[in-house]
Structures are given as structure tokens and as C-alpha cells.
Structure 1
Amino acid sequence: MNTAEVVDRYYELANRGEWDAWCDLFAPDQTMDEQLAGHVEGRETLREMMKGFPAMYAAFANTPRFVVVQGEQAAVISHISAMTHSGTAVEAEVCNYFRIVDERITYMTNIHDTVPFAPVVGR
């Protein structure tokens, strides 16, 4: 897969809730700077973190609005629409940056307003 295909697959798997397959898109030694979870190193650390994701959301969608790909890098502006199990809606604009090497995400960061997520993370 090229960079654009990996990015497309990232959103496809996230929107289907296939978190184990989603984690497989990342390199074993990946690094992620996640707005809410902080600095995450290693695919297996990420996989453990994502096991709790279905308990947080009854519904989750991350829809790309604008995608830029250049070589091994991509930036995506997207919109998250989610619903907690208690019925709280989460709506947020997001920007993700990806570095993809040998068909795996080696680095990713996301930037978004944390306020819409306060009911989910208790902040």
C-alpha cells in the first residue's frame, strides 16, 4: 500500500471499529502523540490502549474532509462524531499528521479541541 492507501485504510478500519486491524497499520516501534492519551510508543502498547475504546463509545465515526499526501507524509483534516454509552454526543474537528514507511505508520500525531471529549475522559 502506498501512503494514501494506508491513510484511507486507517479511517476505514476506525469507522468500522476494527481496532485490532487498525493497530496492524502501525509499525511495531511506532510513536504517537495523541491529544488525550499523550505519548504512546510501540504498536502493542497502542493495541492494549485501544482495547478499551469500545467501552468508551457506543458509536464512533472519523470522517476525512481534506487529505494531503506527499511522499511518506500525510495530513488529514477530519470530523469526529461519536456517542458515549450514556448518550453524550461528541463532535470535534481534528487534524492528523502521519509518517508512513514501508506501508506502516511510524509516527502519528493528532490535534483537536479537548473540550468535546471531557465527558468521555473526565477532564
Structure 2
Amino acid sequence: MNTRDVVNRYYELANRGEWDAWTDLFAEDQVMEEQLAGRVEGRETLRSMMAGFPDMYAEFHNVPQHIVVDGEQAAVVSRITARTHGGDTITAKVANYFQIVDGRIRYMANFHDTAPFAVLSGA
């Protein structure tokens, strides 16, 4: 898959809640700078983390609004809408940066307002 295909698949799988297949998009030695979870190193660490994701959200959607691809790099502005199992709603604009090597996400960073996610910690 080329860079755009990987990015499109990233959002497609996330929006379907297919977290195991989503994790397979990442390189074994991936590094993710996740604004809420911090630095996540290694695909299997990410897989373990994502196994608990359905326990946090009853519904989750991350819809791209704008995608820019330049070779092995991509930047995406998207909008997250989610609902927790307790009925709290979350809406946030997000910017993601991807570095994709050999058809796998090698590095990713995301940036968003953390305030909407305070409902997850009860703050």
C-alpha cells in the first residue's frame, strides 16, 4: 500500500472498530506520540493498549476533514466524535502526522484539545 492507502485504511478500520487490523498497519518497531497516552513504542504494546479501547467507548468515529500526502509523510486534520458507555460525549478536532515506510506506519503523532477527553478520567 502507498502512503495515501495506508492513511485511508487507518481511518476506515478505526471507524469500524477493527482495532487488531488497525494495529497491523503499524511497523513492528513503530513509535506513536499519543497526546493522552504518551509515547507508545512497539506494535504489540500498541495492540495491548487498543484491546481495552472498546471498554472506553460505546461509539467512536474519527473522520478525516483534510489529508495532505508528501511521499512517505502525511498530515491529516480530522474530527473525533465519541460516546462513552456512561453516555458522555466527546468532540475534538485532531491533527495527525504519519511517517510511512514500506507500507507500514513507522511514526505517528497526534495533537488535539485534551479537555473533551476529561470525562474518561472523571475530571
Indicate the TM-score class for this superposition, using the shorter chain for normalisation.
Answer: over 0.9
Q: Check if 1:7 corresponds to 2:4.
A: no
Q: Map residues 27-42 of structure 1 onto 2, 5 A cutoff.
A: 27-42=27-42
Specify the code of the residue in structure 1 equivalent to 2:32: M
TM (norm. structure 1) is 0.99
1-structure distance, mates of 2:5, 2:122 = 35
Q: Map residues 15-34 of structure 1 onto 2, 5 A cutoff.
A: 15-34=15-34
**Matched residue, 2:85:** 85
2-structure distance, mates of 1:75, 1:27 = 18
Q: Check if 1:57 corresponds to 2:84.
A: no
2-structure distance, mates of 1:77, 1:98 = 12
Shift, 1:116, TM fit: 0.2
TM (norm. structure 2) is 0.99
User: CA offsets per residue over residues 46-97 of structure 1, 9 Å max, x none?
Assistant: 0000011000000000000000000000000000000000100000000000
Shift, 1:121, TM fit: 3.3
1-structure distance, mates of 2:21, 2:59 = 18
1-structure distance, mates of 2:24, 2:48 = 12
Moved over 4 A (4+): none
Query: What SS does the aligned partner of 1:15 have?
Result: helix
Query: What SS does the aligned partner of 1:36 have?
Result: coil
Aligned residues: 123
CA RMSD, 1 decimal: 0.6
In percent, how many aligned pairs have the same letter?
A: 68
User: CA offsets per residue over residues 21-63 of structure 1, 9 Å max, x none?
Assistant: 0000000000000000000000000000001100000000000
**Matched residue, 1:121:** 121
Shift, 1:120, TM fit: 1.2
